[in-house]
């Protein structure tokens, strides 16, 4: 069973936004899509850009460096589904957002 770690309060990540956190040595981007929370690695597969700092349009994040786009629900790159960001399990308990680092 995955061990979850509290990373933020829900109020710290408004809908349509993300927050970069460190979870047991992993740099993780946590996203809020209309009240549902998701987490991926924060490193773009193209050139290592900070994908979590990119624009979020629904469940699609665009890396700010070169425009690579990913579906944060699955980690899939929109042009090449074989290229995937690592995703992490997320749950909300009360007003806390928790992420499982593995």
1 pLDDT higher than 70: no
The parent domain of residue 47 ranges over 5-99
Categorize the per-residue pLDDT at 2 as very low, low, confident or very high, splitting at 50, 70 and 90. confident
The CATH number covering residue 66 comes to 2.102.10.10
Yes or no: say if 70 and 79 are a contact pair by the CB < 8 Å rule: no
Q: What is the pTM of this model?
A: 0.94
The pLDDT, as a whole number, for residue 102 is 76
**Interior CA angle at 85 toward 17 and 34, to 5°?**
25
* Residues 20-76: tens digit of each pLDDT: 999 999 999 999 999 999 999 999 999 889 999 999 999 999 999 999 999 999 999
| pLDDT tens string 74-93 | 999 999 989 999 999 999 99
Query: How many independent structural domains does the chain possess?
Result: 1
Those residues whose C-beta lies under 8 Å from the C-beta of residue 78, and which sit 6 or more positions away, are 60, 69, 70, 71
Give residue 42's pLDDT.
97
């Amino acid at each position: 069973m995955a061990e979850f770690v509290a990373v933020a309060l829900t109020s710290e990540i408004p809908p349509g936004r993300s927050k970069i956190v460190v979870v047991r040595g992993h740099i993780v981007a946590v996203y809020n899509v209309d009240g549902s929370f998701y987490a991926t690695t924060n490193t773009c597969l193209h050139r290592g850009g900070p994908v979590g700092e990119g624009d979020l349009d629904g469940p699609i994040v665009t890396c700010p460096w070169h425009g690579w786009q990913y579906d944060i629900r699955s980690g899939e790159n929109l042009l090449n589904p074989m290229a995937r960001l690592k995703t992490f399990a997320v749950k909300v308990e009360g007003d806390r957002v928790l992420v499982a680092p593995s």
